[in-house]
Amino acid sequence: MTPSELRIKNFLKRVPPNAPPAVAKNVETALKLADRFQEKAGEVRSDAKLSAQGKREQLLVMASGGFAGHWGQLQREADRALAGIAGEIAGLRKRARDSLGEFAAGLQREVRDYLRSLNESDRRHLVLETEEPLLLASVLNAPSFLSGINAEVFGHVEQRVVENAFGVRLKELEVDHAAWENASAACEIAANEIAREAEITAEGFKKLATPSGQSQAA
């Protein structure tokens, strides 16, 4: 097993086994891309016909070409997947709140007023333990301070409601999110390594991977 293959194998251990197959492909391709650029950069640096300036220019041409374009595709794939997961989770949160039922706004205000009248310990215990739809809806349909709780408690309440309504799907999305975060991390590693070999900054390489950067390089 080559060092490149060993690195990929070790990195893939971080990806959940039940992750989408596209994640492993993205990770493997990103790391191989960095390894291939390092190999090509070594060939440029060993070319006795090129001056130091010529070598730098050639490295930049290589980075600006297919390498930047291919890396950009991989990063955008990970970004789109993460955005899609975040959007679906946000949708589940709204659907979970809606599933609690419809209650008059005035009635919900009365519930929040009651919660604020309790001491902090009783209020926290009640909102974290209750299964009463009216109380849960009253808390989640208004900013946390109106119920006398902080953002952390509000988050716990919301998470419990979502898990009760869509627990299985939420766990699947959490696995997918963790997996694509690893793919994004692999892309970040690849960008840093290619940039180092090309003697430019990582941000400079990432700009080359954008559509505008590609057109300028052309």
The string of pLDDT tens digits covering residues 119-160 is: 999 999 999 999 999 999 999 999 999 999 999 999 999 999
Q: What percent of the chain has pLDDT over 90?
A: 91
Structure tokens, 189: 């590693």
Q: At CA 151, angle to CA 147 and CA 155, rounded to 5?
A: 100
pLDDT for 65 equals 83
In angstroms, the CA 59 to CA 62 distance is: 5
- Non-local CB neighbours of 8 within 8 Å, separated by 6+ positions: 27, 28, 31, 32
Q: What percent of the chain has pLDDT over 70?
A: 96
pLDDT in tens, 45-92: 999 999 999 999 999 999 998 899 999 999 999 999 999 999 999 999
Mean pLDDT of the chain: 93
- The DSSP secondary structure of 65-101, one letter per residue, reads IIIHHHHHHHHHHHHHHHHHHHHHHHHHHHHHHHTT-
- Non-local CB neighbours of 121 within 8 Å, separated by 6+ positions: none
- Which candidate, 149, 171, 8, 177, places its Cα nearest to that of 83? 177
Contact 161, 135 (CB under 8 A): no
pLDDT band of 39, cuts 50, 70, 90: very high
Q: Give the up-direction half-sphere exposure of residue 149: CA atoms within 13 A in the CB hemisphere.
A: 27
